[in-house]
Chains A and B, each alone.
Chain A
Amino acid sequence: MNTIVCVKQIPDPEIPASKFRLDAEGKKVIPPEGIPPVINPYDEQAVELALRLKDKHGGKITTLTIGDDSSIKAIKHAVAMGADEGILCKDKAFEDSDSFSIANILSQAIQKIKNYDLVLCGRQAADWDEGLVGSIVAENLNLPLVTLVESVDLVENRLQVKRVILDGSQVFSVPLPAVLTVSHEAGQPRLPSGWGIISASKKEIAVWDANAIGVEPSQTGAGKSRKKLMQLFIPQKEKKCEKIEEEKPEEAAGKLALKLREAGII
């Protein structure tokens, strides 16, 4: 069972809101000082699902990313968790590509890797929250797709996939090869082991440019974006909180209960 996992490096989504800064003019997020970027958490969960399959059925896991040299960190993290190979797609022409271009580059790279049974992506990247790439890759490659996946197993050469819906779950049986997008319900990703970290540090990561992948450079990048970012801003808060600060919990609770009654809520 050979799996390709597409990953992306993003600014740490867990940073406190007070550290979140924008360059409104440049329509960009300013990387928070002293907080390094991380592998997109949903992608990390996709790596975890791939590893669970590998633990049970064997095979090879290849991680694939698009970015600059710093994105190698996301690949190395996946390798430290237990992935076998890593490929960085890097080209000046790829910069500021939209989800459609990213999906096209990934699709071409996946075809170049060949020999795969499964492609996994995170359900969305926690920076722009687009939630498009995995599904477009599936359509590009004309492969079956299941989104928002919680768990997966291989049963008689088909995938048994459990996906999340708002009030429950669905199970699909899917032929291989297939594309799955992974949701956080997949659960905690494993921590890299000491040995994993050592082997990741030694691991050679292949770097592919547009030419190597077979992507026409003029078909990617900001110029080919299907939508244009007009404005980026932090929404204003208008609410004013009336804080009840009493020494004793009974008094605070009593005040709150009365306020709720006055407001006609209870």
Chain B
Amino acid sequence: MKGVLICGELKKEEISSISKELISTGQKLQSDLDQSLDYLLIGENLRERADEAAILGVDRVLTVEGPEFSEFHPERLARIISAVCQQIEPLIILLGQTDLGRDVAPRLAAMLGGSACLDCIDLAYDQKGSTLIQTKPVYGGNALAEWAVASHRPYIVTMRPRSKKPAEPDPSNRAEIIPIPVEIDETQIRNQLVKTVHEEDKGIRLEEAKIIVAGGGGIGGSKGFDLVRRLAQVLGAAVGITRVPADENWMPKSLEIGQTGHIVGPDLYVAVGISGAPQHLAGCSGSKVLIAINKDPQARIFEEADFGIVGDYRDILPALIEKLKDLSAT
């Protein structure tokens, strides 16, 4: 087995940011390994997307096209990727810790007899020991673990979004595009997809937001989020939440930021009534500036924050909203 295979993802018909981050990771491994770097695209009508991927600094773009292949059907996608891996025999398979990677990576490991490490934030190949070193948050982010694998190939890894910088396009260097024929026996697909529902956020997509105002358990109920929304509106920000408001149904679950939700990296993150559990910080520690508003001066969020106000959000937020309105008027 040789080389690195990246399982690319499309977001709204564009190459998603995580895929470009995987390419950066793959490039580093490729130079350590001195082997090829392949980028896999699965779907329909992939010509344009393949052209786009071809200038991102990979050796080959592999395309697998088929009817219904663009549907997000993890069982089918796992079989497609597994079939590709049997043809090209990569040593390392990289996916994002996304809807796709979370589901497909463990299946692939079982199907291909490899090893698996999910939600890594760093990877390095040690040539001397021929081992892959995988760094991954454990215990909800309280600790980091470094795992080494040297046997049980291929090594299947998912990378946490925003743990690496995305690769930049270089139009002077164009990779070869190779269609890979894959036949899927549809009678072997047992799960029938009834429907996929994308909750259209009325606001800004969290991953793309420049400013996010997020509320946690300290908000105390759905009513309190009116203030959070108002602050977001004044700042032109997206609204996010932690686990508690999701579990308590104060706010839609699809707004959850953290280890099991969105991983964001805005210029400004305003954490209101958020204690700072590592599972939540996992989703927002990539923010450039973090502001914490919490009435508990000992709250862990202050250890992560650049600025903090100790106080009740019910007092602070209305005052802050007024102040910001004044400032934007001048």
Contact = CB atoms under 8 A, between A and B. Distances in A.
A243 B303 CA distance: 10
Contacts of A266: 235, 268, 324, 327-328
Most chain B beta-carbon neighbours within 10 Å: one of A184, A185, A226 = A226
A70 interface: no
A169 B300 CA distance: 32
Contacts of A250: 319, 322-323
A76 B271 CA distance: 39
Interface stretch (A56-64, A77-85, A160-168, A212-220): A160-168
Nearest to A150: B253
Interface in B114-169: 115-119, 133-134, 136-140, 142-149, 151-152
Contacts, number: 231
Contacts of B119: 129, 131
A100 B320 CA distance: 52
A45 to B, nearest CB: 10
Question: Contact residue range for chain A?
Answer: 35 or more
A252 B110 CA distance: 55
Contacts of A164: 253
B194 A232 contact: no
Interface stretch (B30-38, B86-94, B96-104, B174-182): B96-104
A135 B106 CA distance: 6
Interface stretch (A141-149, A190-198, A202-210): A141-149
A114 interface: no
Given A169-B197, A171-B194, A228-B147, A147 B110 contact: no
Nearest to B106: A135
B330 to A, nearest CB: 10
A230 to B, nearest CB: 4
B308 interface: yes
Interface residues of B, number: 86
Interface stretch (A46-54, A86-94, A234-242): A234-242
A30 to B, nearest CB: 11
Contact of B192 (A136, A169, A173): A173
Nearest to A228: B148
Nearest to A24: B143
Given A241-B306, A249-B319, A29 B143 contact: yes
Interface of B: 72, 74-75, 98-99, 102-103, 106-107, 109-111, 115-119, 133-134, 136-140, 142-149, 151-152, 190-199, 201, 211, 235, 243, 246-247, 253-254, 259-262, 267-268, 278, 289-292, 297, 300, 302-312, 315-316, 318-320, 322-324, 327-328
Given A132-B118, A235-B137, A254-B319, 4 more contacts: A227-B134, A232-B145, A249-B319, A256-B291
